[in-house]
Structure 1
Amino acid sequence: MSDWPRVRLHVVTGKGGTGKSTVAAALALALASHGKNVLLCEVEGRQGIARMFDVDPLPFEERRIAAGLTGADGASPGAVHALHIDPEAALLEYLSLYYRLGRAGRALDKFGVVEFATTIAPGVRDVLLTGKIYEAVQRNARNKGAIEYDAVVLDAPPTGRITQFLNVSEVAGGLAKVGPIKNQSDTMMTLFRSPRTAIHFVTVLEEMPVQETADGIEEVRAAGLPVGGVVVNLTRPRDLRVKDLGVARRGELDRDGVAADLARVGVAGGDTMVDGLLHEAQEHAVRRALEDSQRKLVKELDVPSYELSRLPQGIDLGGLYELAASLRQQGLA
């Protein structure tokens, strides 16, 4: 059972290098179970979705990119669609919808007015980007020809910018006290502050990412935005006893015993191999001690947490499905 049955918008953020885009993609695959349709969005202009799913670069339109994870009960999977949200294209769409500019809007784009507007007022970019996400979440059967999604997953900006990015009513308030932009931003905040939204944080078990996650959660809560869970990514296997890890960390492993074990299974290498193995064991034990201390801090954040293992083969589409299965098993999806 999902821990977030009421959530329609899953916002995934995290410090750079923690794998937030990978987690967002895996979450979309996990959510697309039992026939559900899911939209995976990106707003940072890196075409990360296209690379992960090995498809052509995405235009500013929704495209089906994968079948979701098969349902745990064997039910047919839904589909994952993707959308690369470009601020200039979003502004043209906004001008067409709210001001009916049509060809005039495209003419502005040719003269560089659109790029100027989104550069001179960065807050406008965030309102436009989040506006497109809001439209996808709020969409219903009355939107002719448009796909109605059961969930939307946003590969969001990093932790340090997530509150500013989603708190669009405050940004828009500095741009305009009245008018369509202010009204639209206020309406979007009703979704972003509601139980239909959850902001999930991705971290790894290192000091800086964990601290940034803690600070991000505090900042998001202070802004009245809903905190989801913490996904601890790239964890190492925990298959050694605490006692054995302590011995390895102190450099007290039985050197002669290791050499004898290697000889018994027919592995040659002499002192060089034994020294290398003992060094690797000590480094692993030290790293595990650091991870265990950071894991305790994650638990103290008092939000649901989930763990994803480091995949030896790296991340490809098969790896994404493997991570998706783990997220669903743990209850994030």
Structure 2
Amino acid sequence: MTGRWEQRRLHIVTGKGGTGKTTVAAAMATALARAGKTVLIAEVEGRQGISQAFDVPPLSTDETPVARGLNGGSITGLSVDAKAALLEYLQMFYKLGRAGGMLEHFGVVDFATTIAPGVRDVLLIGKVYEAVRRRDERRGHKGEYPYDAVVLDAPPTGRIGKFLNVNAEFAGLAKMGPLHNQADSIMQLLHSAQTAVHVVTLLEEMPVQETVEAVEELRGLGLPVGELIINRVREPLLSDRARGMVRSAAAGGRAKTRDLIAEDLQAAKVRVTAAMVDGLLDTAVNLDQRLALQDTEREDLAGLALPTTELPAIPGGVDAGALRELADVLLKSGAI
């Protein structure tokens, strides 16, 4: 069975800060590798979240192996740095050699990548673009792509539109030249069927609101929105019968509900006290209210009409085993 986005070569993962987009990006790379693909996972914010997710040393501007998958799959990591990318472009297009180092020494590179954010974004995405389009020209490799897929841990939803809309952000800075041509080529890739922009959210009001706004922005820019990934979904814990009892208590039937809870506990041969019953009922009421809020947020997300995968909350934090668990969910859901 082929996943919905398995054939895309560039997977861009965004989400409001705190939703776990880096973890999801790592899980997506793991899922692709478990499907036998060679994967590059790249970050552009310098937070080293990818190395923490895979429990490996900090990534560098060199592509570094970080994990192995099944059936020959593998994951390579890359931390994209705007200054290093600019020096690389200066050498590639203008053959500056040692002069490039002098520009860095005098602060020109810092100036170009800080004062002109459009340039910075072109450089950052340009490295990812190069990885997607690169061909292996070694003898016997017949020019195939070294990576089957590239996963980009992108900036959060509040900045994703500007980050990906590099042509508009860069238009006033250069009308021609290598960087201008690079921006055009990047936009062609981002708008093509090779790309999918996946959005990560939680079933909470602020992340859902920002997700809805981000999806609308991405669609307005003509960018291909992929999977909606609802992260850290908790098991409901309450059965339909239990939720009915809780709502009856909230509606004024607390005494009757207390009696029903006490009867159930006694049937299970549990020593019952009034404090125990009240504590259980209060906890259940709070849980039911949170579940009701989650149901409301799900309805708002359903209005986006996007294929959706829910990832479970992993108690105790995310490690290699948790990444494999999340990857398996992505595979089983048909996302990958």
Alignment TM-score, normalising by the size of structure 2:
0.91
Matched, 1:151 2:139: no
Runs ≥4 residues deviating over 6 A: 143-147
Matched, 1:301 2:304: yes
Alpha-carbon displacement from aligned partner over 1:186-230 (angstroms, at most 9, x marks no partner) = 011110000100001111111221121111111111111111110
Separation of aligned partners in 2, 1:248 and 1:198: 42
* Cα distance, 1:245 vs structure 2: 1.5
User: Match for 1:231 among 229, 232, 237?
Assistant: 229
Name 1:73's counterpart in structure 2.
none
For the 8 Å contact 1:172–1:181, the answer to whether it is kept is no
User: Match for 1:166 among 159, 164, 167?
Assistant: 164
Alpha-carbon displacement from aligned partner over 1:210-263 (angstroms, at most 9, x marks no partner) = 121111111111111111110011112145443432332453473244345556
User: Match for 2:324 among 317, 321, 324?
Assistant: 321
Let me know the Cα RMSD of the aligned residues. 2.1
SS of the equivalent of 1:217 reads helix
Q: Structure 2 stretches of 5 or more lacking a match?
A: none
* Equivalent residues in 2 for 1:2-81, closer than 5 Å: 2-68=3-69, 70=70, 76-81=71-76
Separation of aligned partners in 2, 1:50 and 1:322: 18
For the 8 Å contact 1:249–1:283, the answer to whether it is kept is no
Name 1:220's counterpart in structure 2.
218
* Equivalent residues in 2 for 1:232-311, closer than 5 Å: 232-238=230-236, 240-251=238-249, 252=254, 254-259=257-262, 261-262=264-265, 270-311=273-314
* Cα distance, 1:273 vs structure 2: 3.4
* Cα distance, 1:277 vs structure 2: 2.0
For the 8 Å contact 1:6–1:195, the answer to whether it is kept is no
Among the aligned pairs, what percent are the same residue?
53
Separation of aligned partners in 2, 1:122 and 1:102: 25
User: Match for 1:123 among 118, 141, 147?
Assistant: 118
Count of aligned positions: 327
For the 8 Å contact 1:306–1:330, the answer to whether it is kept is yes
**Structure 1 pair 241/258, CA: closer, same or farther in 2 (3 Å)?**
closer
SS of the equivalent of 1:152 reads strand
* Equivalent residues in 2 for 1:67-146, closer than 5 Å: 67-68=68-69, 70=70, 76-142=71-137
* Cα distance, 1:57 vs structure 2: 1.1
* Equivalent residues in 2 for 1:185-196, closer than 5 Å: 185-196=183-194
Alpha-carbon displacement from aligned partner over 1:1-20 (angstroms, at most 9, x marks no partner) = 20124310000001111111
Separation of aligned partners in 2, 1:192 and 1:310: 31
Separation of aligned partners in 2, 1:137 and 1:7: 10
Separation of aligned partners in 2, 1:280 and 1:323: 29
For the 8 Å contact 1:246–1:285, the answer to whether it is kept is no
- Counterpart AA for 1:215: E
SS of the equivalent of 1:307 reads strand
Separation of aligned partners in 1, 2:212 and 2:94: 42
Alpha-carbon displacement from aligned partner over 1:46-69 (angstroms, at most 9, x marks no partner) = 11111111111111111111122x
Q: Structure 1 stretches of 5 or more lacking a match?
A: 71-75
